[in-house]
Amino acid sequence: MIKNHTIGGYLELEVRNGNHLHAGAIRLNSGTNAFEYILRTRNYRKVYIPYYTCEAMLVPLQKLNIEYKFYYINDQLEPTALPQLEKNEGFLYTNYFGLKTQCVEKLSKYYGKHLIADHTQAFFSPPCADVDTFYSARKFFGLPDGAYLFTDSPLTMLLEQDCSYQRCSHLLKRIDLGASEGYPDFNANTQDLANTPLRRMSNLTEALLGNIDYDTVRAQRIDNYRTLDNALKTSNFLQFATTPNDVPLVYPYLSDSPNLKHKLIEERIFVATYWPNVLQWVSADTCEYMLAQNTCFLPIDQRYDASDMKKIINIISSHHE
């Protein structure tokens, strides 16, 4: 845990002096800024990026005036074609929902150091050797910000340390007032982070990340994913070859019911959309459009257990009857 030099006075937030999961990584303030770090140190002239990604990923490229070219993925969330890269070009691939570690490994053998592995949805997946890999902590845990980066090409510029206390209101309100009351703050804090420059991880976020029981989180997410998959895989149009070590972000579920997402939200099962901007980037006949428009990304995180998964299963089963 980060310590200050004050002895005595009022008591601080209780956090244990635990270890970080990615102990050897560079600690930064956001996944997007970790991507910017890579772009700065590698001096890429052009980067290939998937259509199926968050629009925030364009910001570092535009900021640094780096050319980019989109590529398509298939229903296995893998590139439909692999371009031949020149010396100063990179290929960004997302480890979608923590389920595509095998694809990252395959691409690392093909592209080597030219691969940029976006593990913002795959916090527990290890980095491939000699591949620039970055993670976002707040997609998996209740945190204000935080990111990790593995690279063998460190920046020479000195980075200011971020400060995170002002981004915690949604976390505190959720406990005291509920998720709905904290949601406007969540959006405001997300926007604040999007406009925050590349910095080192804050003391607060470092302390909170040392407070997490990673083994318990890992086991609960895997159990919840398996519970849903065992019950829903026969009706799920998305089928992925996963490994026992994959720790998913969500359970992607695609059925022939266009109204299922609305039904789940009505039942207070909140499902995210990854990513609305994709609907403006691609045509309606693409895999990317289908994923963004129709897939229900069911929550499986560490807050929930088998009884919660059973509730989700019952809602979906009754909806299909």
Set out the domains of the chain in order of their start, with CATH numbers: 26-209 (3.40.640.10), 214-320 (3.90.1150.10)
The pLDDT of residue 272 is 87
Only one residue has tokens 């030099």, namely 5
Secondary structure E strands in 145-186: 147-150
pLDDT in tens, the chain (321 residues): 455 567 888 888 888 888 999 999 999 999 999 999 999 999 999 999 999 999 999 999 999 999 999 999 999 999 999 999 999 999 999 999 999 999 999 999 999 999 999 999 999 999 999 999 999 999 999 999 999 999 999 999 899 999 999 999 999 999 999 988 999 999 999 999 989 999 999 999 999 999 999 999 999 999 999 999 999 999 999 998 888 789 999 999 998 887 899 999 999 998 988 999 999 999 999 999 999 999 999 999 999 999 999 999 999 998 876
The pLDDT of residue 1 is 47
Identify whether 275 is preceded by a cis peptide bond (ω within 30 of 0): yes
Structure tokens, 112: 């080597």
pTM of the model: 0.95
The pLDDT of residue 10 is 87
Residue 71 dihedral angles phi and psi, to the nearest 5°: -135, 160
Q: CA-CA distances (angstroms) from residue 28 to 15, 279, 300?
A: 20, 30, 26
Give the integer Cα–Cα distance in Å for 170 and 240: 34
SS (H, E, C) 251-304: EEECCCCCCHHHHHHHCCCCCECCCCCHHHHCCCCCHHHHHHHHCEEEECCCCC
The pLDDT of residue 5 is 64
The pLDDT of residue 12 is 86
The pLDDT of residue 7 is 84
Angle between helices 306-320 and 214-232 (to 10 degrees): 20
Give the integer Cα–Cα distance in Å for 105 and 91: 13
